[in-house]
Amino acid sequence: MSVRHLVATACVAGALSAGCSPEVLPPPRAPARHLPAEIDVPADAPPPGSGRVILDANGERAQVVEALRDGDDDVVRPVCLSTPCVVDLPYGPHPLVFRSVTDESRQSETEIEVGPRMKVLRHNLGERSDGGALNTLGVSLLVLGTLAATTGGILWLAGASDRSASLEGPGRIVTGIGVGTMLLSLPLLIAGRPSERPGATTEWTLTGEPLPPGLCNPPRSVADRH
C-alpha cells in the first residue's frame, strides 16, 4: 500500500468522523391547548410595563430560565422554579430555556413575545444526548489513530528519502496501526452519535374568557420582574 493510499484512507476516515455531528431528531408533539390544573392566577394586575404569562411543561416539573446577552457575557436569569407557574415579564421578547428537574438530558428552548394581554405557554421538552461512553471511546481512538498515522507517515517519508535511516519499515507499521485505529473508531462514533431533539410549544393569548374553577391551588412560583 502506497503512502498516498494510506493518507487518502486517513482523510476519508477523518471526514466521515467529522460528519458525525449531532443528529437532529424530530420534535415531540406540541402540547394541547388547555390550562394547567395546579395553578392560581393572582387577582392583582402585573406591574406597569409587564405582562402575565402562565408557563407549563406539558405536565412535567421543569425549571425555566431566561438566556440573556449582556455585552460579551451570557447571563442566565431564573424565571420559574418549577412548572406550572405564573410569571410577570417585561413587554418584549424573552428567550426561555425549560429544564426538567428530574432528568438533566431533557431541556429545550423557546421564545415568547410578552405584551399587555395575558398569555399561556405550554412547552413539551426536548432532549440532548452526548453519546455516552461509545462516543467518548470513539473520539479517543480517533485522536490516537490520527497521532499514530501522522507520526508513522513522517517516519515512512523520512525512511523513503534516506535509506540509511531504516525508518521506512517502522513508519509503515505505525501508519497502518494509526489508520486501522481511526477506522475502528468510526462504528463507535456512529453508534454513539450525539443527538438533539428540539422541544415543541403551544402558545395562545387569553382573550377575557373566564378561567376554569379548578385553578385555585397556590402557585408553584411567581416571579415579578420590572
| Span 31-129+196-224 CATH architecture | Sandwich (2.60)
pLDDT, tens digit, 9 for 90 and up, residues 128-179: 877 777 777 878 888 888 888 888 888 877 776 766 567 777 878 888 888 8
Nearest alpha carbon to residue 37 among 59, 15, 57, 16: 59
pTM metric for this prediction: 0.64
Enumerate helices (H) and strands (E) in the chain, giving the number of each. 3, 12
Q: Angle 33-36-42 (CA atoms, 0-180°, nearest 5)?
A: 115
Q: What is the CA radius of gyration of the chain?
A: 27
**Structure confidence at residue 111 as a pLDDT band (50, 70, 90):** very high
Its sign, for the CA torsion 33, 38, 42, 43, is positive
How is the chain split into domains, by residue range? 3-21+131-191, 31-129+196-224
Tell me what pLDDT residue 11 has.
54
Q: Which residues contact 189 (CB under 8 A, 6 or more apart)?
A: 17, 20, 134, 135, 138, 139, 142
List beta partners, residue 96.
Answer: 66, 110
pLDDT, tens digit, 9 for 90 and up, residues 4-34: 555 545 554 554 544 457 778 899 999 999 8
